[in-house]
Amino acid sequence: MRFGKKGKLSPRYVGPYKIIRKIGIVAYEFDLPSELEAVHPIFHVSLLRKCIGDPSRIMPIENICIAEDLSYAEVPIAILDRQVRKLRNKDAASVKVLWRNNNVEEMRNEYPQLFTT
C-alpha cells in the first residue's frame, strides 16, 4: 500500500517535499505534511527521485477529495460514442463516457493529434 492508497493506479511518488537534513551517506530526512504523519520521515536515496519543477504538472493534495474508505466518486457528464461489437456468439456493447474531473481542453492542447474532429 502506497501512502494510503492501493491499486495499480496509485501514485508511485508523492511530493516534492523539503529536505531537512542529510543523515549519513545514503539517507535524508524530509519535512512531510500532517497528512503523512504515519510515514517515517527518513528515506534511503534509492527511494528518492529528482524533482524537476513544472508548475503545470503539480497537483496539490488539498484538491483531491478522497473519502474515509479511500474511494473516489467520478460522475459521468455525457456519453460521447456507442459501439456494438460482434463476438462469436453474442454482441458486446461499449460506450465512451466523458467524466466530470477530466480537463478536455488541457488534453486538446497537449495532444492535438488525438482530436482530429
Q: Is the peptide bond before 11 cis (omega within 30 degrees of 0)?
A: no
Domain boundaries, the chain: 18-62, 76-114
Residue 93's beta-bridge partner residues?
A: 84
- Please, is 48 exposed, middle or buried when counting C-beta atoms within 10 Å of its C-beta (0-12, 13-18, 19+)? middle
Question: What amino acid is encoded at 97 in this protein?
Answer: V
Q: Per-residue pLDDT tens, the chain, 117 aa: give them.
A: 455 566 776 777 777 888 899 998 999 999 988 877 778 889 999 888 887 776 666 666 666 666 677 666 667 777 888 899 898 899 998 888 877 765 666 667 777 776 665
